[in-house]
Amino acid sequence: MRFLDNTLRDGSHYNKHSYSPQQVADIASLLDSVHVDVIEIGHGNGLGASSLQIGISKFHDLELVKAARSVVKSSKIGVHVIPGIATFVEDVYPAIQEGVSYVRVASHCTEADITQTMIEKLVAMDIEVWGALMMSHMIEPNELAKQAQKMEAYGASGVVFYDSAGTFTPIDVKNILYEFHDLLSIQSGFHAHNNLTLASANSLVALQSGATFIDGSLAGFGAGAGNLSLPHFFAILSKINPNSKLEWQKYLSIMQQFIDSGLIVFPQSNEMNVISGVNGVFSGFVSHILRIADQYSVCPVELFKLCGHNKLVAGQEDLIVEIAQSLKYNNA
């Protein structure tokens, strides 16, 4: 059982990619003190994602990786990579040179093929590399497992499936892992979002169904309604197994320090986050949809529904504008 803390990556969505190197060093040092297995660093959409369309980072990913590496002693430093957004030469290799030893190579749930070259290069370098399938609710569990099979064939040590829209229920997670374990011989993991306040329940079912890697963050700090809160989850696991060696009290103490500092605020599953989850819309779209709905004077609920119907994914923020324009025209 391993845990990845993505406060410093998925949490970057929540603070508009504004982490400073000093903030990264401070948080990474504390996460390292509770011996979390992997500390993930960088832009919310992964290395190289800083852009006008997706969101500009205040500091370059490499500056943040260096800051983490300077203080971390036991945890692995990890990064999230989407081929096509990140390149091996300009983004991934320099990060490895700065101390990254764990890489997630991610794709949309139907596009595992795009990860082949990146995974194979990293495997050849003896870097621990896992595949990641985003927006996993968009295809049936068996088809998702077949995409994961491709990542296994490329050499990935495991595959994590992302509930990017926070739309899964425990039975969904159980069904996916049943298919994974039927078709795969490598490990599996789960990345939850909390739109329907099911991140803890879904992650617990994932572990019970054979997943070996669970993602989360301090206070659930992440896109939309947030991720799984790892400190809370550690407490749950310690309650289930009193002999667990998870440092849940120390983790909670660390979380409280940052809540008190004002840097981290509990993400909440408000009305729009729930609507996002029900409609299967990427959690990171909430702020974009609300802003665009206001700009074009259209109903945000209807805009969420249409974005879900059109199966928009991260990187297609510009299409929200087109949908809003069409919605306004049709309602005129």
Q: Is residue 60 part of a domain?
A: yes
Give whole-number Cα distances, 91 to 21, 102, 214, in Å: 17, 14, 25
Q: Is residue 158 part of a domain?
A: yes
Which pLDDT value is given to residue 45? 92
Judgement on whether residues 157 and 208 belong to the same structural domain of the protein: yes
Which pLDDT value is given to residue 332? 61
Provide the residue count of the chain.
332
Q: Last residue of some domain: 236, 261, 286?
A: 261
Residue 287 confidence class, pLDDT cut points 50, 70, 90: confident
Judgement on whether residues 96 and 145 belong to the same structural domain of the protein: yes
Which pLDDT value is given to residue 253? 93
Using alpha carbons only, give the angle 154, 210, 7 rounded to the nearest 5 degrees.
75
Which pLDDT value is given to residue 13? 87
DSSP conformation letters of 126-179: T-EEEEEEESGGGS-HHHHHHHHHHHHHHT-SEEEEE-TTS---HHHHHHHHHH
Q: Which of 13, 17, 191, 193 is catalytic?
A: 13
Judgement on whether residues 92 and 119 belong to the same structural domain of the protein: yes
Judgement on whether residues 119 and 216 belong to the same structural domain of the protein: yes
Q: What is the mean pLDDT of residues 22-37?
A: 95
CATH number at residue 286: 1.10.8.60
Q: Last residue of some domain: 233, 261, 289?
A: 261
Q: Which residues contact 98 (CB under 8 A, 6 or more apart)?
A: 62, 65, 66, 69
Q: Is residue 118 part of a domain?
A: yes
Judgement on whether residues 38 and 140 belong to the same structural domain of the protein: yes
User: Can you read off the two tokens belonging to residue 102?
Assistant: 């764990």
Which pLDDT value is given to residue 309? 87
Judgement on whether residues 71 and 162 belong to the same structural domain of the protein: yes
Residue 292 is part of which domain span?
Answer: 271-331
Q: What is the mean pLDDT of residues 134-153?
A: 97
What pTM, to 2 d.p., does this model score? 0.90
Most confident range, picked from 144-153, 242-251, 272-281: 144-153
Q: Is residue 113 part of a domain?
A: yes
Q: Whole-angstrom Cα distance, residue 29 to residue 85?
A: 28
Instruction: Indicate the number of domains in the chain.
Output: 2
257 or 214, higher pLDDT? 214
13 carries an active-site annotation: yes
Judgement on whether residues 289 and 231 belong to the same structural domain of the protein: no
Under DSSP, the state recorded for 56 is: -
What is the C-alpha radius of gyration for the chain, rounded to an integer number of angstroms? 19
Q: Is residue 266 part of a domain?
A: no
- How large is the angle between the packed helices 300-309 and 271-278, nearest 10 degrees? 20
Q: Is residue 188 part of a domain?
A: yes
Judgement on whether residues 252 and 301 belong to the same structural domain of the protein: no
Which secondary-structure segment (H or E) carries 34?
Answer: none
Model confidence pLDDT, tens digit, residues 98-135: 999 999 999 999 999 999 999 999 999 999 999 999 99
Which pLDDT value is given to residue 209? 97
Judgement on whether residues 311 and 232 belong to the same structural domain of the protein: no
CATH number at residue 40: 3.20.20.70
Judgement on whether residues 292 and 154 belong to the same structural domain of the protein: no
Provide the percentage of residues in the chain whose pLDDT is more than 70: 98
Judgement on whether residues 206 and 297 belong to the same structural domain of the protein: no
Which pLDDT value is given to residue 276? 87
Q: Is residue 69 part of a domain?
A: yes
Residue 218 confidence class, pLDDT cut points 50, 70, 90: very high
Judgement on whether residues 189 and 70 belong to the same structural domain of the protein: yes
Q: Is residue 90 part of a domain?
A: yes
Torsion sign across C-alpha atoms 135, 139, 142, 144: negative
Which pLDDT value is given to residue 214? 98
- For the cut 80, the answer to whether the pLDDT of residue 315 exceeds it is no
Which pLDDT value is given to residue 278? 87
Q: Last residue of some domain: 261, 285, 312?
A: 261
